[in-house]
Copies of this chain bind each other. A is one copy, B any other.
């Protein structure tokens, strides 16, 4: 284990054990460097990792403080559907059902299939001002998510994950009874400040799950 990883683990252990509590001020980076017998840069790297994990807050001059431990962060893996289904040894298919302009947006609805079984029903809005080329794309052959991935770099994304019973329309599209438990992923992406797309994907609850993990070594 690298030196900075060991420093991070030591401080993390103190935070998780309660030896350090939210609001507590940590020793300065210079002090920690002297204490651990290493350079300030090594300590700073460990602190940056703790900050990234949401465990501490860093403020210039004021110092570093233990953060409120009200949110744990984990790395959520959001798979590309085509690749996910291929990895399961199954066949993927996208079916575009509707495509229409709505004001400044392009609205697309469609279904993702796994071996001819509907897996997810998707409704999407694409901001044409941000993605002019989308206006000329039919999305008959390629899923808009896959197309967007290939055509425009997004710089930030926000996901909301929830569970709900399928509405009558969703149920019909997914070929399940209304009210069936579905995992819903709502995702918005931006390029800088410009919105790229907003999508709501309704997954059959029995066919899809997501994985998130937290491992300090991943930093």
Contacts and interface: CB of A to CB of B under 8 A. Distances in A.
Contact of A160 (B182, B210, B215, B217): B210
Contacts of A69: 80, 149
Interface stretch (A8-16, A28-36, A56-64): A8-16
A212 B159 contact: yes
Interface stretch (A93-101, A136-144, A161-169): A161-169
Contacts of A184: 163
Contact of A74 (B76, B181, B203, B217): B76
A112 B164 CA distance: 20
B203 A156 contact: no
A152 B16 contact: yes
Interface string A21-55: 00000000000000000000000000000001000
Contact of A72 (B52, B78, B205, B213): B78
A209 interface: yes
Q: How large is the interface on A (under 10, 10 to 19, 20 to 34, 35 or more residues)?
A: 35 or more
A132 interface: no
A181 B205 contact: yes
A74 B157 contact: yes
A49 to B, nearest CB: 10
B161 A205 contact: no
Contact of A13 (B9, B78, B153, B183): B153
13 contacts: A12-B155, A16-B149, A16-B152, A72-B80, A72-B157, A156-B213, A157-B213, A157-B214, A158-B214, A160-B212, A162-B208, A163-B205, A181-B182
